[in-house]
Amino acid sequence: MSRVALVTGGSRGIGAAIAKSLKDKGYTVAASYAGNDEAAARFTDETGIKTYKWDVADYAASKEGIAKVEADLGPIEIVVANAGITRDAPFHKMTPEQWQQVIDTNLTGVFNTIHPVWPGMRERKFGRVVVISSVNGQKGQFAQVNYAATKAGDIGIVRSLAQEGARAGITANAVCPGYIATEMVMAVPEKVRESIIAQIPAGRLGEPEEIARCVAFLVSDDAGFINGSTISANGAQFFG
């Protein structure tokens, strides 16, 4: 039977590319989303991948959603914590609400996603955890104190989980994308986007599929000894 993979925020952008790539490789895939029902329905129509709605920032909702996925598809052996948001502002203008929303979704959301599946992975002596961090968690970024803090935190999470899970056959790794052509980046004003591209030696944004291929490798049997690592995929923008 094929392994079951959960991709949070798998209905759009990078998460959708990851979900499709894992399905193409023969995994049974579930994609979660927050509230954009139309995008999720369209994604399921196009791909046949089941989508599930819950807020990753809510522990009880995450536990319930994950239990539903497991009841439908079987035990989750692969989890990709991808769901994330930005609420950018220079630090002197950043509100406590902007800080908290990003912490709740991008950092606590990763805890809420992995914690419910971790005991099953330990019992079955197999698991693959991948967290989608960011180049801006490695190097920091103007107007992203909140976001950079969470994405740096993701790296601390996988390095710690790697040590806890290694003997139980569980790996935990992070992928740090550079700027990727998704709605998150296309929402940035064009002038800012142009200045971002000018700082990327590759001279272009990355494609979601380029991140999906990193994830597909990390969850494969071939990557069993890669644990606690960070893969940077950023067109030579930063060497982390």
Catalytic residue numbers, as ranges: 147
Give phi and psi for 136, each to the nearest 5: -75, -15
Q: Which of residues 180-199 bind ligand NDP (CB under 6 A)?
A: 180, 182-185
Of residues 12 and 126, the one with the C-beta less far from ligand NDP: 12
The letter for the amino acid at 208 is P
The β-bridge relationship of strands 50-53 and 76-81 is unpaired
CB atoms within 10 A of CB 78: 24
Q: Is 15 in the site for ligand NDP (CB under 6 A)?
A: yes
String of DSSP letters for 146-201: HHHHHHHHHHHHHHHHHHHHGGGTEEEEEEEE-SBSSHHHHTS-HHHHHHHHHT-T
Of residues 70 and 209, the one with the C-beta less far from ligand NDP: 209
The β-bridge relationship of strands 50-53 and 127-132 is unpaired
Sole window of 13-21, 165-173, 196-204, 223-231 interacting with ligand NDP (rule: CB under 6 A):
13-21
Of residues 165 and 177, the one with the C-beta less far from ligand NDP: 177
Near ligand NDP by CB under 6 A: residue from 5, 6, 9, 138? 9
Which spans of this chain sit near ligand NDP (rule: CB under 6 A)?
8-9, 11-15, 32-36, 39, 55-57, 82-85, 105, 132, 134, 177, 179-180, 182-185
